[in-house]
Structure 1
Amino acid sequence: MSREEIRRLVFLLFLGQLVSLCLAVASFTSSLIADLGTDTPLTQSFFTYLFLALVYGAIFLHRRRKLLVPWYWYIALAIVDVQGNFLVVKAYQYSSITSVTLLDCWTIPWVIILTWLALGTKYSPWQFLGAGICVVGLGLVLLSDAGVSGGGGRKPILGDALVIAGTFCYAFSNVGEEFFVKKKDRVEVVAMLGVFGVLVSAVEICVFERKDLQEVKWSPTMISLFVGFAAATFLFYTIVPFVLKMSGATLFNLSLLTSDMWAVLIRIFFYHQQVDWLYYLAFGVVAIGLIIYSLNENGSKTEAATNGEEVTIQYEQLTEENSPQELF
């Protein structure tokens, strides 16, 4: 392996851990906000979309280009993304940070089903085996939260159900983003997701969350937590395209595994809670399933006819551009 390849690998590992850290920080701040008695998941996500709209919207306007995708598709994308964030953040009111971060892995089987049905993606038996093992591991989390061996949170089963529903929305959002990013422009996708995410979340805040928002006790600590969540999720939305473009979903999925372990460490050292042994077993099972799925990812392909030509799409792996250093 040459020095250039080593440097590239180190840079990829750094980006992957940075994405994982962003996800862990977002989970941590959401858990703290819930512990302080604040129940405003839509407002938390609103600031994320606002940051995305301001930064990437400014870049998009500076380019002075027309939309490559009709605006109504971006509205649909924003709706499912907002609902996914709402449901997962809401789950912190009822379940533990460990359960929420582990159950986030439900996005993978949903994405497999959606890409299989909607995009015609072909998956190998090994990938289905990996996804099945993930489901078994997630079932252990449900078993623990049901009270067999104890679990965190006021209503852990309700919290787990919210997370699973949220991952279903995430799957729709991820598949839509995957299609738009590969076919069109990444900056446009992130910018429009921010713009329409702001509009959708603002409308829902006025309808569903206005009373809860008025009851929030704004203190320096609370403001810092909201800013921390928005900054972490903004960086998450920003860095993910880099990782997917340079390495595909293999390193991305493996990198996100460390966020689950960080969630366990946060629960042990910050909350001083005893983590049930089933969580460790669930993490190990989920890790094995994700590794099996990721290592066999190159076998998944979708072939579609476009203007009489064959177009091969590889799941969650962005097409290479002329210059690998280009982001915009």
Structure 2
Amino acid sequence: MLIGEVARRSGVSTRMLRHYDSLGLVRPTGRTVGGYREYSEEDIRRIFHVESLRSLGLSLRQISRALADPAFAPASLVGDLIRRTEERLKREQELLDRLRAVDASAPFDWRGVLRIVELLHGLGSPDAARRQQTVLTPAEDAPVPAEVLAEAVLAEADPYVAGALRWALARAGADGVASLAAGVRSEHAEIRRRAVRALAELPGDEATAALADALGDSDPAVHRHAALALGARGTTTAVPTLVRMIVEGTNDVEAAEVLGTLAADPERTDRLMSALAAELAAPTADSAVRIRLAQALAEMPATSAHGLLRQLAHDEDRAVAAIASALVRAAEQRPQG
């Protein structure tokens, strides 16, 4: 079969077939009566082999090596192709995310588009200092969309850049809550932690609802941070977690302060005091736990906490009794009202 016929039937151009010939990849092995080179059936099968391997992303050099060596093992080559394809898909996904971010910002002209693309490049920089500078010095005519900031918060590992992103997101309002709420449902604990820390700095009922969802998270850092944020907002559903934090000795000072703020409302005081009293009476309340509970009681309204502190002042453990006695004296000397 002559080259023109091969090109027509195979879909490979005559130019590419001649290129294959010059590389020694597929050379016609037959000759016509007139001396023209002719492709045999074996040559045509080889062309289809070449095209099949090209469709997988192999270079012509790799194809030549694979076809020339009968002992060639394709495993490493296929693995390399997988990695390259994953990298390409990642770049394309990043491009798609960037285009969506530009579209969400609703720029009015090309100048606005270019400005937003420049900002997105800055946020995607491998240099933490540049990312932070991008967040802290945005262009006035093209503020970074809240959704972009929220996505950047969820991806940011550097604590300083993350703090700048949360600051910028808080200034942008509640538009990024939906993205952060999706982060709370991530399968990765670190992303959920970042989402909760950012939600804690955003106002509004939607942010509070997302924090309430995080209260039942299996990761301790997530539900503890959510409890502190919810308690600071006056949400009593966080009380059991806050009390448990005091008992466990994790962020117990912050938890006690938040409980003290909640107890400022007389309607909540009895519930909080009952929760603390129940932990004091628990068989597992060792000396360290009783000391932390005594310190938490000191944050409560004096009239409510005085009785429990006096009981602890007579505790069998001398350290507990001494701390409780000091707290009682401090409460008695505290100006009333």
TM range (shorter): under 0.3
If asked which structure has higher relative contact order (CA below 8 Å, sep 6+), I would say 1
Say which one has the larger Rg. 2
